[in-house]
Amino acid sequence: GASGFVAGETLIDLFPSASGPLTSVSGFEHRPGGAPANVAVGVAALDDAPGFWTVLGDDAFAAFLSSTLDDHGVPGEFVERTEGKTALAVVTREADAERSFSFYAEGTATFDFDAAALPVSAFEEREWVHVGGVALADEASRAATLAVVERARDAGCVVSFDPNARAELWRDAATAERVLGEAVAAADVVFCSADDLALLGVDTDAARERPARTARGLLERGPETVFLTRGSEGATAATRTANEGNAGDGGRSSDGSGSVVVSEPAFAVDAVDTTGAGDAFTAAALTRYEPGAGASALREVVRYANAVAALATTATGAMGAIPTPERVERFLDDSGR
């Protein structure tokens, strides 16, 4: 049955035709985006469609996003329509294949969330609820997102959180670190990329050299499980255990409870567009994650999510690039398990 629920923004990524400064770019392609929307689409592609709470305006971009969500099998039950425009995330492609974002979001319908509008029944029978950090940058979407987290927790759902670090959205680094840190502490499962770690005040050089230690450090902030995505290096996951793990890289934290950490390399693919790789990873992991997973189950989750994310980098865009479950199975078989 429908076991997951995603809440957050669906917006337009304006993707430039060339890399380099926007002053020298001649054209843009409009692509459906918003990290939570990417995750909802990813889950729908790989598994049962999740519930998806998002707000769409009444402009042409909103109509485009609405039909895009439909096309990807995301149910419209919790998709709200309101007056107003769609937020734009203007992408800059740096020469080194990195991307940065500039948001045109103020006063748009996209971030006009009101948790009071979300039916009480939304979380019934849901195993997990996933939210992202972009909506935490400003009110009123911050309060609405935190209300979703609280209601999901009250409903007994696993709460999943991806900081989705976009430094320029935040008034200052201290606010970002505090608000995102509180969300990390409130979540059961956290997904972090290198950019997210930076905004959370974690030393990214140390994280690159000692990802297991960084993952354990994040567990101490409160979540039960942490996934660190490490681009072409793969991913690391850490989880608390009742008993000390004897597989993987086991250890004990200061409060005496155990933890296990597993790392898996990325799959070698010809990456053409890494946009949404992190969201593909998150979607895949959410469909396979079980609370209380031991080292070997966690390793399988990471391997599966690495495979989905690697395949997603071999096609352009975030939503259209999610592979089918059959494609993932074949890829894993061919990779010699």
Q: Which residues bind ligand ATP (CB under 6 A)?
A: 193, 195, 229-232, 234-235, 266-267, 269, 271, 274-279, 281, 306, 309-310, 313
Least distance CB 318 / ligand ATP (angstroms): 7
* Minimum distance from residue 255 beta carbon to ligand ATP (Å): 28
Is residue 30 packed enough to be buried (19+ CB in 10 Å), middle (13-18) or exposed (0-12)? middle
* Residue placing its CB nearer to ligand ATP in the complex, 54 or 229: 229
Q: How far is the CB of 205 from ligand ATP (least distance, A)?
A: 16
Which CB, 224 or 279, lies closer to ligand ATP?
279
CB nearer to ligand ATP: give 3 or 232. 232
Q: What is the DSSP string of 68-93?
A: HHHHTT--STTEEE-SSPPPEEEEEE
Which stretches within 92-200 are classed as H helix?
Answer: 141-154, 173-186, 194-199
Q: How far is the CB of 174 from ligand ATP (least distance, A)?
A: 23
Neighbouring residues of 337: CB distance < 8 A, sequence distance ≥ 6: none
Least separation in angstroms between residue 308's CB and ligand ATP is: 8
Nearer to ligand ATP, 80 or 195 (CB): 195
Of 78 and 281, nearer to ligand ATP (C-beta) is: 281
Q: Which residue is nearest to ligand ATP (CB)?
A: 278
SS (H, E, C) 286-328: HHHCCCCCCHHHHHHHHHHHHHHHHHHCCCCCCCCCCCCHHHH
Work out the burial of residue 18: count CB atoms within 10 Å of its CB; fewer than 13 is exposed, 13-18 middle, 19 or more buried: exposed
